[in-house]
Structure 1
Amino acid sequence: MTSIGTGYDLSNSVFSPDGRNFQVEYASKAVEADGTSIGIRCKDGVVFAAEKLVSSKLLVPGANKKIQTIDKHIGVAYSGLTPDGRHFVNRGRSESNTYRRSYKVPISVSSIADRLAGYVQAYTLYSSVRPFGVSAIVGGVDESGPKLYTIEPSGAYWGYYGAATGKGRQAAKSELEKLDLPNISARDAVKAAAKIIYTAHEDSKDKDFELEISWVSTSETNGLHQFVPKDLLEEAERLARDDEDEDEEMQED
């Protein structure tokens, strides 16, 4: 039996006859309509990058960031609805603070991913709420080393070396697969991330965007989640644009 959503997409707590939750699927569509976000797990840390689409020239540059900090050693990049992303991050900060007060140590990356995934999944169970309209890439460095996870609107989560979400996720994943992810350094990953975001943006060339890149690295940031220095960001963007221009010239030839 195949369902088309009619009658089964009115409540978040009802399955269709073939086992689908249409509200979760609709939430995933909201993610696919937003800019691309990626995460790279390297040998010495984690790098996040996000394509923040600019809908108006009147917007203040740097506002409504798609990359945020959950704890000193944990960052998150998300694609989807910005208000949902803010609530997701605030919940992560609350979980992190509660864990630190209870156990007197920072929360591990795997624990925060598990807790946030459970929270997101709870929003798929009741008719009084709706699923989160974001897919989040959560990563950081703890005692066991760098870790990277993706949390979907369904509450499912997986560990990755490289992850992508948003409109250009397929193109981004193809580029991520070309990298030597377990052995790449954080500094090289920053440059690769910029190139990947520019590649993924090709389908939305009619829209302006801001590139956001942050990292958590044992060698570069002493294990703290920070946005990359301005000079490194500018260098990464310049290299990405140069590669893009070279590709266009080769296609013309």
Structure 2
Amino acid sequence: MASQGTGYDLSASTYSPDGRIFQIEYAAKAVENAGTAIAIKTKTGVVIAVEKLTSAGLIADGKHIASRARDEAVNHRDTYRYPAPLKALADRVSMYIQAFTLYSSVRPFGISTIFAGIDDSRGPQIFMIEPSGVFWGYNGCAIGKGKQLAKTEIEKLDLDNLDLTQAVDEAAKIIFKVHDDAKDKDFELELSWIGPESKGRHEFVPEELKKEAIRKAKEALDDEMED
């Protein structure tokens, strides 16, 4: 960055002469260097897949935001006597994240956050919050070092006709395809879902189904390399 080291990157409340806040850009770069995470929305639910690398990252930031999201959900239920709609929850958390970009005494969170769930009125939904606090709704999204290729692969999917079990297989294939063996030797695939199969709760995909998805993903990758 052109202005790096000139003093404009010492605080989240300091703008560079061209109107940039470098600490937010640094936070976004930290996300780009992390393992890939994707979310895929189907007619009945959402599947989330994570390339869990054996390396250090801003794990504490993620735990902090997860805890904040739980607090917001509880506060909403206590105040309004019904569960928080996913968009309302994402909105509340995004404002909290954005507040950490405003003051010199704090720093932006070095994570992007995926919210996935099922609303009674709107059905399955996905929202992603960026380190700046901006959030958007998606049918499918990707973050991390493999996000560009992952986005391309998600765009190829017929999401309107994909069931949740098929989405598990497709999510596993995408994570294995974007993983860079040359740079990251070891990784653990984490798969979770929410939908009728999980009785409306966000849970890890059953182990047998996960193993089958991994087997299919490896076979697809081998076939692609042979071609």
Q: Does 1:131 align with 2:108?
A: yes
Cα distance between partner residues in 2 of 1:225 and 1:204: 33
Q: Which residue of 2 aligns with 1:44?
A: 44
How far residue 85 of structure 1 moved from its aligned partner, in angstroms, is: 0.4
Cα separation, partners in 2 of 1:17 and 1:42, compared to 1, 3 Å:
same
Q: Does 1:232 align with 2:201?
A: no
Instruction: Calculate the TM-score normalised by the size of structure 2.
Output: 0.95
| Percent identity of equivalent pairs | 54
Which 10-residue stretch deviates more, 2-11 or 117-126? 2-11
Contact 1:161 / 1:182 at 8 angstroms: preserved in 2?
no
| Alignment map for 1:142-157 (pairs within 5 Å) | 142-143=119-120, 144-157=122-135
How far residue 87 of structure 1 moved from its aligned partner, in angstroms, is: 0.3
Q: Which residue of 1 aligns with 2:78?
A: 101
Partner SS state of residue 133, structure 2 = coil
Q: Which residue of 2 aligns with 1:72?
A: none
Q: Which residue of 2 aligns with 1:30?
A: 30
Q: Which residue of 1 aligns with 2:13?
A: 13
Instruction: Calculate the TM-score normalised by the size of structure 1.
Output: 0.85
State the number of aligned residues: 225
Q: Does 1:161 align with 2:139?
A: yes
Cα distance between partner residues in 2 of 1:191 and 1:103: 38
Q: Which residue of 2 aligns with 1:4?
A: 3
Cα distance between partner residues in 2 of 1:229 and 1:174: 27
Q: Which residue of 1 aligns with 2:187?
A: 209
Cα separation, partners in 2 of 1:9 and 1:205, compared to 1, 3 Å:
closer
Q: Which residue of 1 aligns with 2:91?
A: 114
Contact 2:50 / 2:190 at 8 angstroms: preserved in 1?
yes
Cα RMSD of the aligned pairs, angstroms, is: 1.5
How far residue 208 of structure 1 moved from its aligned partner, in angstroms, is: 0.3
Cα distance between partner residues in 2 of 1:117 and 1:182: 28
Q: Which residue of 1 aligns with 2:224?
A: 247
Which 10-residue stretch deviates more, 45-54 or 174-183? 174-183
Deviations 1:34-90 (A, max 9, x none): 10000011110111000000249xxxxxxxxxxxxxxxxxxxxxxx61110000100
Cα distance between partner residues in 2 of 1:27 and 1:100: 32
Going by fraction, where is strand more abundant, 1 or 2?
A: 1
Deviations 1:146-200 (A, max 9, x none): 1101100000110000100001001101100100123311111110000000011
Cα distance between partner residues in 2 of 1:50 and 1:204: 19
Q: Which residue of 2 aligns with 1:190?
A: 168
Which 10-residue stretch deviates more, 179-188 or 117-126? 179-188
